[in-house]
Structure 1
Amino acid sequence: MANSPQAKKRARQNERRFAVNKARRSRIRTYLRKVEEAIASGDQTVAAAALKEAQPELMRGVTKGVFHKNTAARKLSRLSSRVKSLGA
């Protein structure tokens, strides 16, 4: 339990930041899910468009500190290779 004024303020800030980060994570997951669904449908043009929309969102999550940059790079790499394999 926070007792000092500083600790109380930090607790308030943490709650706010947690809510913002949770919303960002959810938004990014939605974009990633759209790519997954497009890949499952088998349409490469739709999947490529969905990936193009998801990429800046995922990178924005990196700059905001929601994801580590290697995690984002790994996700993008795997998705892009799967989208690419649809054409073959």
Structure 2
Amino acid sequence: MLHMVNKSPFQNGGLDSCLRFASAGDCILLMEDAAFAAATGTAKSAEVEAACKKFKVYALSADIKARAVKSVIEGIEVIDYAGFVDLVDQNKTHSWL
């Protein structure tokens, strides 16, 4: 399962819900404002670092760049749009709003 999170974890509970319901072997994609969750040194960093140990976590490169995220948490794979398409093609998806 590919869990797509697109809201800021600082303004919305989508990421928290995703992390509670995701299962072993699932993937999580941080996109749009959820890309802020990929940044090091934030209030969510420890939670996201722990998630990287349980799930494969991705962040969309265009969204990382657009939000000026300087440093990405170790364990998060930054992907381009082609990688995003591959993830969607290979997995069932669930969007967290």
Same fold (TM over 0.5): no
RCO (CA 8 Å, sep 6+): is it higher in 1 or 2? 2
Structure number with greater Rg is 1
Identify, as 1 or 2, the structure richer in helix: 1
Using structure 1 for the length normalisation, give the TM-score. 0.31
Q: Which structure has more strand as a fraction of its residues?
A: 2
